[in-house]
Structure 1
Amino acid sequence: MSRRTTPPIESRAPRPLRADAERNRQRIIAAAHEVFAERGLNVTLDDIGHHAGVGVGTVYRRFAHRDELIEAVFEDQVGRMIAAAEQALAHEDPWEGLVEFFLVSAEDFAQNRGLREVLLERAHGKTAVAAMRDRFTPVADALIARAQEAGRLRDDIETTDFPVIQIMLGSVSRHSGALAPELWRRYLTLILDGMRRDRPGPSPLPVRALEPHEFDQTLM
């Protein structure tokens, strides 16, 4: 009788997840989307499992640690940002395309605390952030160059100004989100006016300024 041999581990293809296991994985990711958006990244896998309605052991079987789950959750959101930048690049008006991208990305940051933290603070999901930067930078360079060549954008704007502006707007959202969730639109309008080279006059501000007592509340 010939002895049966087991193929070396390296040659075995990874088995696809069973249907119920894949359903649990998607359920966990969907729950993490919601928890991260509302509470940020400093939550536990217990919190995610509770929100998903599964035991923490099920979460750990699908994701070895929190950063692995963070990268799975934000992979598609990073992809959406890249798609928004590419769509802006295809806009027939270089300036309007740039404005469209700022609006889409700023709204995402305003509504999703976890996205702000993973992309702007970089405390978690460093692999996802590095991949996003590698994919995004060429598109951002093209957006800027196109608007500058059309005489619509200041010549001294650089690609690194993009994340700094998003950090500023993210800070507004973080402090004023509960009281004035649309306040970031006021400051984005002011920033865009400052960036535009051919501005005929000040743009109307879409949101009123905070009252003094509201400002004090945001600081607290």
Structure 2
Amino acid sequence: MNHATALSPPRRLRADAARNQKRIIAAARELYAEHGLEITLDDVAERAGVGVGTVYRRFANKKDLITEVFDQALDDFAAAAESAYHHQDPWFGLVELFEYACRHMASNRGFSEVVLELEDDVDRFAVVRDRIKPSIDAIYLRAKEAGVLAPGVEASDLFAMIHMVDGIAEFARPSNPDVWQRYMAIALNGVRADDIPRQQLPVPPLTDDEIGKAKVAACSGRKR
């Protein structure tokens, strides 16, 4: 009996399983970003181009898949924070990370919704906070020591500012998905030292029509 031949199929299946897992996670990341947590494992299977059973063999339920996707997002954030910390300019390093966080929250409904849900899960939220907070603290301290932050600004203010920008992003998403960039610039301008040039406002404010459309969308969502 040729033992090498007999052992070949399991190796091939493991490789297939690994490829399928990557496809499933990639599909889940796309769908969560587009539609938030309301999607199903069936939706993920369809986007990934695999059978539903393949998804369930790897992830027992949607929560397991959400956890995997969220953990990968945290890995990406950690890499972005590392890059921002090593920026040659302390202010622009802070801006780089702040923009990354705001853009990720604004364009990724699932990530934003998971963060809100985690605030009700004390232990899990503490794990996430402890993983992200040291990076933000280090970038904040570097900017503070360089004298580019207004007096009295604390690292915790940056967390609050990100949530503030995410709030307008969520409200305006149905009518103007890019307007969050304006309020991100306003927020950053508010914490800069007086002698530091201000950020240019990249987009105009919401129009009355866009505010109306956003309100209608928000009300419709609450009625579901």
Q: What TM-score, normalized by structure 1, do the two folds share?
A: 0.83
> Is the contact made by 2:192 and 2:198 (CA closer than 8 Å) also made in structure 1?
no
Whether 1:158 aligns to 2:154 is yes
Q: Distance in 1 between matches of 2:97 and 2:128?
A: 16
1:167 aligns with 2:163: yes
Greater helix content:
2
Provide the rounded CA distance (Å) in 2 between the counterparts of 1:94 and 1:120.
30
Q: Distance in 2 between matches of 1:150 and 1:120?
A: 33
CA distance in 2, matches of 1:19, 1:200: 54
**How far off is 1:127 after superposition?**
7.5
Distance 2:98 2:215 in 1: 25
- Residue type of the partner of 1:89? Y
Q: Residues 128-184 of structure 1: CA distance to partner in whole angstroms, max 9, x if unpaired?
A: 754432222111111111111111112322232222222221122222223222101
Tell me the equivalent position of 1:63.
59
Q: Select 2:92's aligned residue among 92, 96, 101.
A: 96
What is residue 212 of structure 1 aligned with on the other side?
Answer: 208
Structure 2: segments with no counterpart, 5+ residues: 1-10, 217-224
Partner of 2:183: 187
Percent same amino acid among aligned pairs?
A: 44
Cα separation, partners in 2 of 1:167 and 1:198, compared to 1, 3 Å:
same
Q: Which of 20, 31, 35 is the matching residue for 1:39?
A: 35
Query: What RMSD in Å do the two structures reach over aligned CA positions?
Result: 2.5
Tell me the distance in 2 between the aligned counterparts of 1:122 and 1:84: 21
Shift of 1:115: 1.5
Decide whether the 8 Å contact of 1:40 with 1:114 is kept in 2.
yes
Q: Supply the AA of the counterpart residue of 1:167.
A: H
Task: Give the Å deviation of 1:97.
Answer: 0.8
Q: Distance in 2 between matches of 1:61 and 1:76?
A: 20
Give the Cα–Cα distance (whole angstroms) in 2 for the partners of residues 125 and 24 of structure 1.
Answer: 31
Give secondary structure in 2 for the equivalent of 1:40.
helix
* Structure 2 contact 33–108 (Cα < 8 Å) conserved: yes
Q: CA deviation at 1:29?
A: 0.9
Match of 1:106 among 98, 102, 105: 102
TM-score (norm 2): 0.82
List gaps (5 residues or longer) in structure 1: 1-14
Corresponding residue pairs, total: 206
Q: Residue 116 in 1 paired to residue 112 in 2?
A: yes
Inter-partner Cα distance in structure 2 for 1:129 and 1:62? 25
User: Which aligned runs of 4 or more in structure 1 are off by greater than 6 angstroms?
Assistant: 123-128
**CA contact 2:140–2:155 (8 Å) conserved in 1:** yes
